Amino acid sequence: MGILEVKNVNKRFGGLQALGDVNLSVAENSVHAIIGPNGAGKSTLLNCLVGKLIPDTGSVMFDGQSVLGRTPYEINQMGISRVFQTPEIFGDLTVMENMMIPCFAKRDGAFKLNVIRSVEGQGDIRDRAEAMLVDMNMADKRHMHAASMSRGDKRRLEIGMCLAQQPRLLLLDEPTAGMARADTNNTIDLLKQIKASRDITIVIIEHDMHVVFSLAQRITVLAQGTPLVEDVPEKIKGHPKVREAYLGESTPA
Amino acid sequence: MLGIKGKDLTLLGVVAVLALCAPFILNPFPQDSAMAQFNAGYPDLMQRFVIFGIFAVGFNILFGLTGYLSFGHAAFLGVGSYSAVWMFKLLSMNVIPAIILSVIVAGLFALLIGFISLRRSGIYFSILTLAFAQMSFNLAYSVLTPITNGETGLQLSLDDPRVLGTSVSDTGGIPVTNLFGLEMRETTTMYFGDWAFQFSNGYYFCAVLLLVSFYISIRIFRSPFGLMLRAVKSNQTRLNYTGLNTRPYTLAAFVISGMYAGLAGGLLASMDPLAGAERMQWTASGEVVLMTILGGAGTLIGPVLGAGFIKYFENIFSKINDNVLHQWFGGLPEGLENGLVWVAEHFVGSGWHLTLGLLFMLVVTFLPGGLVEGGTRIGRLIRGKTRRADEKSAQSKPAE
Amino acid sequence: MEAILLQILNGLDKGSAYALIALGLTLIFGTLGVVNFAHGALFMIGAFCAVTVQKVLTLSKITLDPTKTDFLGNPAQIKTPYVESWFGPDIGAALIDWSVPLAILFAIPIMLLIGVIMERGLIKHFYRRPHADQILVTFGLAIVLQELIKHYFGANQIATPAPDAFRGSFDFGAMLGMDPNVVIYPYWRLVYFAFAAVIIGAVFAFLQFTTFGMVVRAGMADRETVGLLGINIDKRFTIMFGLAAAVAGMAGVMYAPINSPNYHIGMDFLVLSFVVVVVGGMGSLPGAVLAGFLLGILESFASMNEIKSIIPGIDQIIIYLAAIIILLTRPRGLMGRKGVMEE
């Protein structure tokens, strides 16, 4: 049994079969990549995992519990964090405040009318946020407006915010989309370092094969809403079915 | 001190000094001088300053922090007033139970309306709150007449029971509102040469409550709860995917701001024990939006400044008439005088709302941060550009 | 049966006004992405165009008739409207009588001009600002326009009668073979409904069949792409704003005989029209029209005595109640598109 078990998931949008009988098993503490051409259903699958979409049929189990029918914040509280394609951060707040919010969510749960002690007075939260900022190499930016940072820094902050919740499963939706090569390499290094320093399962959806083959331990290839192959990276590289699926698409491997 | 420090403490101190010394500050001109019409230091007006200050401070907790623009907050003000007057009719003329009931009833009412309206966001939320407020207003005018006394408004009468007090005062009239015997309308006048300063019990009661309200608002702004509310405004998606449920946060903010409005409504009734449906009309909701924006939404002091500013100029501008204008421009050649008077009379007297509308457009267009931002900009100009770098980092903190 | 017909008819004139204002609001929102709280003020200005035309036409030369005296013993004054002395008494009187329809000719250029000035002078600067800012600045503008009208026309309602030919009522029920004297309907309300139907039809035909309309519809669907095609979308949107203003203005002109205008008639209609737009679905033109008539008729039904006796006060709140129920069950309104106003 993997930590994440997706069984026979189907999802239709009107006449379009976005996902057809998707089965997926992600082993605990592994890095699992989901690749596939545009429109293969990668994002739809991800949205089904975090509660943004509800599959028409099938089941999604996380650590033995079903996530179906739960809202995104409930699923997050179960231990699944998500990094978006375009960084979703609190642009109006400072970097430090951004980092403190997941720390509060971890400590206080989905809602707490916490009005007695000031934010300043929450030593434990400050320490944890500060430690995370140091981890992410962003301590010098703590007073900056999050919206005023570069895209690479926003991405870094978002990943840090997810990690601050100490999730058991981290979902990354094309984390290097739109990044320059240097930033992409930095992100790869960051993810490697994250994986090395803690027990965490990572599911990554990616277009850039360079990123996939640098990180993933297993790869699922999705085409037209159905898993085509699932194997270790070495086998995937030369797989005829994969080449077929990507026909006409450049594969910078 | 008091769990707040630094700039916040200074700010509270400034508001405290302003509120407590208002009878002096607002009466800078001798009472017989030509400028006396610009004095605002009489109890009626000062009470309005602080009561609408409380209203705006509460509205700001919702709008300033979460960005949810309610167009129906006057409903809570009205409900607060009705509750207070009923307390005066049934229980006693003591203001404390009246105000407590106002806050509770307004809070419950806000809980109901907020629970439904907050299922939607953006303009849909604004329209839902507007719809509820207009419904309340229309009902107060028509079917709910047994409770609200319809168009006439709810008033005290000699045959009200007042179980803990007396129905009729010693002099045979309707008893007056009081705080454990301290009459709200009682005013002491102090003479300093040509100056007359008025100190009213009612005003100071309101002022103390403004300070308490303002203090609570500071604590909310600086609390983790306040941080979450600002996060709601900034990015709800991220908040949801960070394991936080936005709805109870926004609902709590809505109820708290509704309670502030109820307190303001209760105070209005405590100073002048009557309540009418027009207090719930959507123009009244619009007014508190104007105050908050004009002062600076999302800042601590902004709503207080906005409320004071609007109420002061409303009072002063509407008192200026043709004669006053002709006096002012009297030294000029006749044609010019008449021309200037013609232009100016659009903006004063009953034209005050025109001035308000224009002012509001100018502020929204050029100074979205309101008076507070204006002050900050002027301050920056004065201090020069050498400290730009410091400003940059200071800016990233929430504005004071 | 008769009662139902009567209530539907009664709902039509208000429904027409809601639909016309909501149509303009939706055009502006759909094309420019701007929430225009000053739209009710445009309706009001239209109504005051009718007032102005009537006042101008009845401007009179005062002559003294020395043969008669009034009760104070002064020579009696005879007021002769200038139009009567210029065009002869018959044509002059007819002009005065038909002042409301004539006011449409006057209102169209005025409203187009006001619309274009508004868009170029103010709204343009708010395209990229949050909706809350747009609401606030147009709210400020609405106050300004309202106060200006109040300054020049006073606070009271000003009676603006319809032409003689359309005054009075007719027995609509009897015409349909029902019992006489049950369904009595004023002529002018029927005129108003027909007028509204023509305007609504014209707006839809314009958007459907002209190149201009096609570009505007494309712009409503995807503004940026249309902009990329090299089409000067801004200029068209300016004209669109002028047209929306003209529609609101004409709705106001024709409404003047039904409800004598005062300076806050616009605000009264605005609040309800916004409810209508939201109920119809932000950005949906058919939705706006449908919701306008639906709510107008619903309001008229709720004011029936039979219904009021069951649920007291329902007539006062029915529109808001309907809006709340529709918004809660259909989050995007009756015909709203996904993704509009949901940031």
CA torsion A191-A193-A198-A204 (nearest 10°) is 10
> What is the average pLDDT score of chain A?
89
Angle of CA points B213, B219, B224, to nearest 5°: 140
Average pLDDT (C101-128) is 90
Q: Measured between CA atoms, how close is B245 to chain C, in angstroms?
A: 17
Q: Say what percent of chain C tops pLDDT 70.
A: 95
CA gap B258, B265 in Å, rounded: 10
Closest CA–CA distance from residue B92 to any residue of chain C (Å): 32
Question: Is pLDDT above 90 for C282?
Answer: no
pLDDT of residue B396: 45
pLDDT given for residue B152 in this prediction: 86
Q: pLDDT at position C101, please?
A: 87
| B82 pLDDT above the threshold of 90 | yes
Confidence of residue B393 (pLDDT cuts 50, 70, 90): very low
Percent pLDDT > 70 in chain B is 96
Instruction: Say if the Cβ atoms of B142 and C313 lie within 8 Å.
Output: yes
Q: For position C161, what pLDDT does the model report?
A: 84
CB contact under 8 A, B364 and C136: yes
Among chain A residues, CA nearest to B232? A90
Interface test with B, best of A47, A52, A73 (most B CBs within 10 A): A73
| Complex ipTM value | 0.91
CA–CA min distance C211, chain B (Å): 32
Packing angle of the helix pair B224-234, A95-108 (nearest 10 deg): 120
Q: Cα(C190)–Cα(B1) distance, rounded to whole angstroms?
A: 71
H or E element that contains B155: strand B154-155
- Spatial separation of the C-alpha atoms in residues C239 and C252, rounded to whole Å: 20
Interface touch B131/C142, C-beta < 8 Å: no
Mean pLDDT across the stretch B271-290?
88
Question: Using the beta-carbon criterion (under 8 Å), do C313 and B351 form an inter-chain contact?
Answer: no
The verdict on a CB contact (< 8 Å) between B226 and A120 is: no
Q: Which of A93, A113, A144 sits opposite B234 (nearest CB)?
A: A93
* pLDDT tens, position by position, B49-80: 999 999 999 999 999 999 999 989 999 999 99
State the pLDDT at residue C100.
Answer: 86
Our count of domains for chain C comes to: 1
Q: What is the per-residue pLDDT for C58? A: 83
Q: Are strands A169-173 and A80-83 parallel, antiparallel or unpaired?
A: parallel
Q: Which of C125, C147, C267 has the CB atom closest to B354's CB atom? A: C147
User: B251: part of which helix (H) or strand (E)?
Assistant: helix B246-271
Residue C272 structural domain: 2-58+105-329
State the pairing for strand pair A218-223/A31-35. parallel
* Rounded-to-integer distance, Cα B131 and Cα B282, Å: 9
Question: What tens digit of pLDDT does each residue of C122-147 get?
Answer: 988 888 888 778 888 898 898 899 88
Looking at residue B386, its pLDDT comes to: 53
- Specify the amino acid at residue C120: R
Listed in sequence order, the residues at least 6 apart from B119 whose beta carbon sits closer than 8 Å to its beta carbon are: C328
What are the extents of the domains in chain A? 4-79+167-245, 89-150
pLDDT in the model for residue C341: 45
C-alpha closest to that of C25 among C10, C14, C15, C35: C35
Least confident of A94-98, B127-131, B376-380, C90-94: C90-94
Q: Where are the domains of chain B?
A: 42-319
Tell me the percentage of chain A whose pLDDT exceeds 90.
61
In which band, very low, low, confident or very high, does the pLDDT at A250 lie, cut at 50, 70 and 90? very low
**CATH of the structural domain A4-79+167-245, one choice from 3.40.50.2020, 3.40.50.300, 3.30.70.270, 3.40.50.150:** 3.40.50.300
**pLDDT of residue A193 exceeding 50:** yes
Report, as an integer, the average pLDDT of C111-127.
Answer: 91
- Residue C266 maps to a domain: yes
Residues in chain C with CB shorter than 8 Å from the CB of B128 are: 323-324, 327
What is d(CA B297, CA B368) in angstroms, rounded to the nearest whole number? 9
Contact A112 B224 (CB under 8 A): yes
Assign C223 a pLDDT band (cuts: 50, 70, 90).
Answer: low
The distance of A147 to chain B (nearest Cα, Å) reads 10
Regarding predicted confidence, which is higher, C106 or B36? Answer: C106
Across A220-234, B255-269, B337-351, the highest mean pLDDT is recorded for B255-269
Handedness of CA B299, B305, B311, B313 (dihedral sign): negative
C249 pLDDT above the threshold of 90: yes
Q: What is the pLDDT of residues B323-359, one digit of tens each?
A: 777 777 777 888 888 888 888 878 887 778 888 888 8
Residue C263: inside a domain: yes
Does the structure show a pLDDT above 60 at B394? Answer: no
Contacts of C146 in chain B (CB under 8 A): 353, 357
Q: Mean pLDDT: which of B300-304, B371-375, C308-312 is highest?
A: B300-304
Confidence tier at A247 by pLDDT (50, 70, 90): low
Q: Strand, helix or coil at C129?
A: coil
Q: What's at B193, amino acid-wise?
A: G
A116 to chain B: closest CA residue:
B223
CA distances from B292 to B55, B245, B257 (A): 9, 27, 13
Specify whether the CB–CB gap between A168 and A106 falls below 8 A: no
Which CATH number belongs to the domain containing residue C265 in this structure? Answer: 1.10.3470
Averaged over C106-114, what is the pLDDT? Answer: 93
The answer to whether residue B235 scores a pLDDT higher than 90 is yes
3-state secondary structure at position A58: strand
* pLDDT value at residue A252: 46
pLDDT band at C224 (very low <50, low <70, confident <90, very high): low
Q: Does A93 sit within 8 Å of B231, measured CB to CB?
A: yes
Residue of C89 and B391 predicted with greater confidence: C89
**A101: chain B residues, CB-CB within 8 Å:** 227-228, 231, 239, 242, 244
Question: Among A158-167, B57-66, B194-203, which stretch is predicted with the lowest mean pLDDT?
Answer: B194-203
Residue type, C260: S
The Cα angle at residue B393 between residues B388 and B398, in degrees rounded to 5: 120
Q: How far is C49 from chain B (nearest CA, A)?
A: 20
Q: Which chains does chain A touch, 3 or more C-beta pairs < 8 A?
A: B
**Identity of the residue in B227, B242, B245 whose CB atom sits nearest the CB atom of A97:** B227
**B25 secondary structure, DSSP code:** H
Residue C112 confidence class, pLDDT cut points 50, 70, 90: very high
CB pairs under 8 A between A and B: 118
The predicted structure's pLDDT at residue C44 = 93
CB contact under 8 A, C143 and B360: yes
Is the sign of the CA dihedral B70, B75, B78, B84 positive or negative? negative
Mean pLDDT across B214-219: 96
Q: What residues of chain A lie within 8 A of the CB of B248, using their CB?
A: 111
Q: How far is Cα B228 from Cα B225, in angstroms, rounded to an integer? A: 5
Subunits next to B (3 or more Cβ pairs <8 Å) are: A, C
Q: How far apart are CA A185 and CA B222, in angstroms?
A: 39
Task: Check CB contact under 8 Å for A101 and B244.
Answer: yes
CATH architecture entry for B42-319: Orthogonal Bundle (1.10)
Q: Quickly count: other Cβ atoms within 10 Å of residue B5's Cβ.
A: 12
State the nearest Cα–Cα gap between A197 and chain B, in angstroms: 22
* Chain C residues 303-342 with a CB less than 8 Å from chain B: 312-313, 316-317, 319-321, 323-324, 327-328, 331, 341-342
The whole-angstrom distance between A141's CA and the closest CA on chain B is: 10
Please check whether residue C244 lies inside any domain of the structure.
yes
Chain A touched by B393 (CB under 8 Å): yes
**Residue C335 within any structural domain of the chain:** no
Phi and psi torsions of C289, nearest 5°: -65, -45
Taking 90 as the threshold, does the pLDDT of residue B85 lie above it? yes
- Nearest neighbour of A111 by CB, restricted to B230, B234, B248: B248
Side-chain-side CA neighbours of C113 within 13 Å: the count stands at 7
Per-residue pLDDT tens for C79-99?
778 888 788 778 888 888 888
Does C142 sit within 8 Å of B354, measured CB to CB?
A: no
Count, residues in chain A: 253
Residue with more model confidence, C235 or C339: C235
Instruction: Quickly count helices (H) and strands (E) in chain B.
Output: 18, 6
Q: Please report the pLDDT score of residue B150 as a whole number.
A: 84
Q: Which of C3, C2, C51, C44 is nearest to C21 (CA)?
A: C44
The SS3 of residue C165 is helix
The whole-number pLDDT of residue B26 equals 85
* Helices and strands (H, E) in chain A, number of each type: 9, 10
Mean pLDDT confidence for B249-267: 97
Statement: residue B13 has pLDDT above 70? yes
| Confidence (pLDDT) at C230 | 67
Listed range (A35-39, B33-37, B178-182, B198-202) with the worst mean pLDDT: B33-37
Residue C167's pLDDT band (cuts 50, 70, 90): confident
Judged by average pLDDT, the poorest of B60-69, B145-154, B364-373, C330-339 is C330-339
Chains that touch C (3 or more CB pairs under 8 A): B
Q: Can you tell me the distance from the alpha carbon of C127 to that of A134, in angstroms, rounded to the nearest whole number?
A: 40
With CA atoms as reference, the chain C residue closest to B116 would be C328
The single-letter code of the amino acid at B289 is: V
AA letter at A177: A
> A114-123, A207-216, C64-73 — which is least confidently predicted?
C64-73
Residue A26: pLDDT above 80?
yes
For range A63-74, the mean pLDDT: 92
pLDDT in the model for residue C84: 80
What is the per-residue pLDDT for C124? Answer: 85
C161 or C173, which is more confident?
A: C161
Contact (CB<8Å) B243/A105 = yes
Which residues in chain B touch residue A102, judged by CB atoms under 8 angstroms apart?
242-243
Q: Which of B390, B396, B397 to mutate to test the interface with A (most CBs of A within 10 A)?
A: B396
Distance from CA of B273 to the nearest CA of C (A): 27
Given a cut of 90, is residue A66 above it in pLDDT? yes
